[in-house]
Homo-oligomer: A and B are copies of this chain.
Amino acid sequence: MEFVTGVKKPETLELGELLEEGMEGREVKVNGAVHSIRDMGNVGFVILRKREGLLQCVYEEGISLFDLKELKDADTIEVSGTLTRSEKAPNGVEIRMKEVRILSEPVEPMPLPISKWKMNTSLEAKLNYRPISLRNIRERAKFRIQEGIVRGFRDFLYTQGFTEIHTPKIGAKSAEGGANLFRLEYFHRPAILQQSPQFYKQMMVGVFDRVFETAPVFRAEKHNTKRHLNEYTSLDFEMGYIDGFEDVMAMETGFLQYTMKLLEKEYARELQILGVELPKTEEIPAVRFDEIKRLVSEKYNRKIRTPYDLEPEEEMLIGRYAKEEWGADFVFVTHYPSKKRPFYAMDDPEDPTYTLSFDLLFRGLEITTGGQRIHDYRSLMEKMEKRGMTDEGMEQYLSAFKHGMPPHGGLGIGMERLTMQLLGEDNVRETTLFPRDLSRLEP
């Protein structure tokens, strides 16, 4: 028997530690993957890929006690040597190598030029070689930014008194009706994959007042577009005791403000790698659905064809309008038509053909749907009846309302879409680790 007492500092150093004051001239040990090698005979360079970035290691015949030819791309190695400042090296330091220990070796050469700054490879090829293409510095940086977004979402909501919940993804019935559901057999019973945690987070408002979840959702939609996935990560929250759906928009604005600051502070390296300029979030315009439709139609001379919905092109033009007129990257579009919203959306008492709900568009693409929900049991039942719905399979959801629920509202944010728009990508698969779409079920 031995005791495990916690994490011990390893002998090998990380990039951040190498960059600390007073390290110059020190004998150090580092490990990493061989990202590229430049062999110039009696001198050479081995670029190591480490989790924090690239590290240049210098081979010098006579000083380095091994043959550079022993190394190849994609080896993982442990290097011992002297730390030296070097203005030409990435991050300004390099290691003059003495010894090298090979930890592992590949058996085949790289199928993609991952050590290039831009791979110039098709999206298709990048997805077909996903575990390899993600090793590219720019590719992987996208998913660090994505981490920052989700982290910002959670950390901000903790400060606002929200509780994190984990709700089931297999269910007997979905939150928002029968279409677009993946179906499976659950021990000889029909089951579905949840397309949203909507019902669960509403039920949990009765317990914790404010809740959030960051988890996968599943949509069997037969869209094959640049902005649709059949499985994605949804950042959901729901909050009780609101005065109106404006409180939900204010909370989302707070999240964006918090997260942009977090990215600036903790993910500056990745922002720089990707050349991303963060959008302004101090004030986000909110404009009615019918009004912005009219404004866009007038300004861009485009006929309104679908009075109850926004076409993708219209969303784009709203984004353009917000930028041109208000200098805004984000815009809330409020008061969506009731017929396009689910039954639990609260209708506007002043005009029940509209709802107290909103979408958030980011640079012309919808990244959030949210709004106030009906909290009164009788009103909920009335609306369901009006829509010809039964309460079958929704007994538990409805029981929460039967036994008292505060006024509440919430939203869902598509993590991959938000990342895509922030990074200026044009396909949501670029910001999805392992996308699931009509044709792609692997890797």
Q: In the complex where A4-B253, A8-B250, A140-B208 touch, is A51 in contact with B161 (Cβ < 8 A)?
A: yes
Contact B203 A131 (CB under 8 A): yes
Q: In the complex, which of the residues B140, B165, B191, B442 contacts A171, with contact meaning CB atoms closer than 8 Å?
A: B442
List A201-235 residues whose CB lies under 8 Å from chain B: 203-204, 206-210, 215-216, 218, 220, 222, 230-231, 233
| CA A291 to CA B1, docked complex, whole Å | 9
Q: In the complex where A5-B253, A33-B404 touch, is A131 in contact with B207 (Cβ < 8 A)?
A: yes
Q: In the complex, which of the residues B129, B241, B250, B402 contacts A103, with contact meaning CB atoms closer than 8 Å?
A: B241
| CA A379 to CA B436, docked complex, whole Å | 31
Contact B1 A326 (CB under 8 A): yes
Q: In the complex, which of the residues B107, B131, B203, B442 contacts A206, with contact meaning CB atoms closer than 8 Å?
A: B131
Chain A contact residues: helix, strand, loop or mixed = mixed
Q: Within the complex, what minimum Cβ distance (angstroms) separates A158 from chain B? A: 7
The yes or no answer to A179 lying at the interface (CB within 8 A) is no
Q: Within the complex, what minimum Cβ distance (angstroms) separates A357 from chain B? A: 14
Residue of B nearest to A104 (CB): B375
The yes or no answer to A420 lying at the interface (CB within 8 A) is no
Point out the residues of chain B lying under 8 angstroms from A207, CB to CB: 131, 134-135, 140, 143
The yes or no answer to A249 lying at the interface (CB within 8 A) is yes
The yes or no answer to A66 lying at the interface (CB within 8 A) is no
List A23-62 residues whose CB lies under 8 Å from chain B: 31, 33-34, 50-52
Point out the residues of chain B lying under 8 angstroms from A150, CB to CB: 164, 166
Point out the residues of chain B lying under 8 angstroms from A240, CB to CB: 76
The yes or no answer to A339 lying at the interface (CB within 8 A) is no
Contact B135 A163 (CB under 8 A): no
Segment at the interface with B among A91-99, A118-126, A278-286: A278-286
Q: How many copies does the complex hold?
A: 2
Q: In the complex where A52-B161, A184-B184 touch, is A104 in contact with B376 (Cβ < 8 A)?
A: yes
| CA A135 to CA B1, docked complex, whole Å | 45
Point out the residues of chain B lying under 8 angstroms from A2, CB to CB: 285-287
Q: In the complex where A183-B185, A438-B187 touch, is A332 in contact with B4 (Cβ < 8 A)?
A: yes
Q: Within the complex, what minimum Cβ distance (angstroms) separates A389 from chain B? A: 17
B-facing mask of A12-24, CB < 8 A → 1, else 0? 1010000000000
Q: In the complex, which of the residues B103, B161, B166, B191 contacts A216, with contact meaning CB atoms closer than 8 Å?
A: B166
Point out the residues of chain B lying under 8 angstroms from A308, CB to CB: none
Contact B108 A169 (CB under 8 A): no
| CA A203 to CA B231, docked complex, whole Å | 20
Contact A284 B250 (CB under 8 A): no
Contact A441 B1 (CB under 8 A): no
Q: In the complex where A250-B8, A283-B3 touch, is A442 in contact with B172 (Cβ < 8 A)?
A: yes
Contact B7 A404 (CB under 8 A): no
What 3 A-B pairs are tightest by C-beta distance, nearest first?
A: A396-B443, A74-B404, A106-B404
**16 residue pairs from A and B, CB less than 8 Å apart:** A5-B250, A31-B406, A50-B209, A76-B405, A107-B377, A131-B203, A134-B206, A147-B163, A147-B165, A166-B415, A166-B433, A168-B435, A169-B231, A193-B193, A215-B216, A393-B442
